[in-house]
Structure 1
Amino acid sequence: MSNIRITKQFSFETGHALYGYDGKCKNVHGHSYKLSVTVIGSPITDRSNVKFGMVIDFSDLKKIVKEEIVDQFDHATVFNQTTPHIELANELKNRGHHVILVDYQPTSENMVVDFAERIKNRLPVGISLFSLKLQETESSFAEWYASDNL
C-alpha cells in the first residue's frame, strides 16, 4: 500500500518576547500563527474498520494538535524561563494572565521543534510526523521535516 501524506491546518494567537535580541522583537508582541501539520502513513485496508481508507481521521489529528498546541498556546505569552523575563512572567501570572515558560528562546524555529516533539509523542502506531510549518507572519515561517532530523 502507498504512503500518503495528510495535512491539517490550525490557527492561534500567541505573544512572546525575545530576550537579548537587537531588534523590535525584544519587546512583548504577538502573532497570529498558522500551523500546518503533515503526517504520513498507509490508509487502513481493513474493510470492517470504520476508518477504512484513511491514514488518520482528520478529527483525530485535530484532537492531538488542539490538545498539545492550540489549547495551550492560544492567547498565551511565551517567555524563556532562563532570562530576566521570568520576573515579567511571574507578574503577569499573578495578574491572571496565561504565561508559558520554556527553556528556549521562543522563536518560530525553536517553537516548531517543540511542537514536533509534542505531536510525535501522541501519534498512533503506524503514523509518523512528516513535517510542520509554523507561519509567524504572512511572509515568514519556520519548517520542520522529519527527514532533516534523523
Structure 2
Amino acid sequence: MSNIRITKQFSFETGHALYGYDGKCKNVHGHSYKLDVTVIGEPISDTSHVKYGMVIDFSDLKKIVKEEIVEVFDHATVFNKNTPHVELAKELEDRGHNVLLVNYQPTSEMMVIDFAEKIKQRLPNNIKLHSLKLQETATSFAEWYASDNE
C-alpha cells in the first residue's frame, strides 16, 4: 500500500506583540491566520473497517487541531510570558480579555513549532505529522516539515 498525505485547512484570528522587536510588530496587533495541517500514512486496507480507504478521517484530524490549536488561539492575544508583556497580559485579563502566555516569542516560526508538538502528541500511532503551513498574511507564512526535524 502507498503512503498518502492528507491536508486539512483551518483559520483563526489571533493577536500578538513581539517584545523587543525593532519594527511595527512590537505593538499589539492581530492576524487572520490560516493553518494547513498535512499528515501522512497508509489508507486503512481492512474492508470491514468503518474507515476503510482513509488515512485518517478528516473529522478526526479536525477534532485534534480544533482542540489543540484553534479553540486555544482563536480570538486570544498571545504574549511571551518571559518578558514585561506579562504586565500587559495581566491588565488585559483583568478587563476580561482572552490572553495566552507562552514560553516563546509569538512569531509564526515559533508558533508553528509549538503547533507541531501539540498535534504530534495527539495523532494515532500509524499517522505521522508531515508538515504545517501557518500563513500570517496573504504573502507571509512559516512552514514546518517533519523531514527537516528528524
Specify the TM-score bucket, using the shorter chain as the normaliser. Answer: over 0.9
Show the counterpart of 2:141: 141
The structural deviation recorded for 1:9 is 0.2
Displacement of 1:140 in angstroms is: 0.1
1:75 matched to 2:91? The reply is no
Q: How does 1:1-150 map to 2 (within 5 A)?
A: 1-150=1-150
| Cα deviation code 1:1-55 (max 9, x no counterpart) | 1000000000000000000000000000000000000000000001111100000
**Alpha-carbon deviation of 1:126?**
0.3
| In 1: Cα distance, 2:87 partner to 2:120 partner | 32
Cα RMSD of the aligned pairs, angstroms, is 0.3
TM-score (norm 1): 0.99
Identity of aligned residues (%): 81
Q: Secondary structure at the match of 2:2?
A: coil
Per-residue CA deviation, residues 92-125 of structure 1 (Å, 9 max, x unaligned), is: 1111111000010000000000000000000011
Q: Distance in 1 between matches of 2:87 and 2:122?
A: 33
> Distance in 2 between the 1:136 and 1:2 partners?
33
TM-score by length of 2: 0.99
Moved more, 91-100 or 129-138: 91-100
Q: 2:18 is paired with a residue of what secondary structure?
A: coil
Whichever residue aligns with residue 62 of structure 2, its letter is K
Q: Within 2, Cα distance between the matches of 1:96 and 1:68?
A: 22
Give the length in aligned residue pairs.
150
Q: CA deviation at 1:139?
A: 0.1
Structure 2 residue runs of 5 or longer lacking an equivalent are none
Partner Cα separation in structure 2 for residue 93 and residue 42 of structure 1: 45
Residues in 1 aligned to 2:67 and 2:103: alpha-carbon distance in whole angstroms:
20
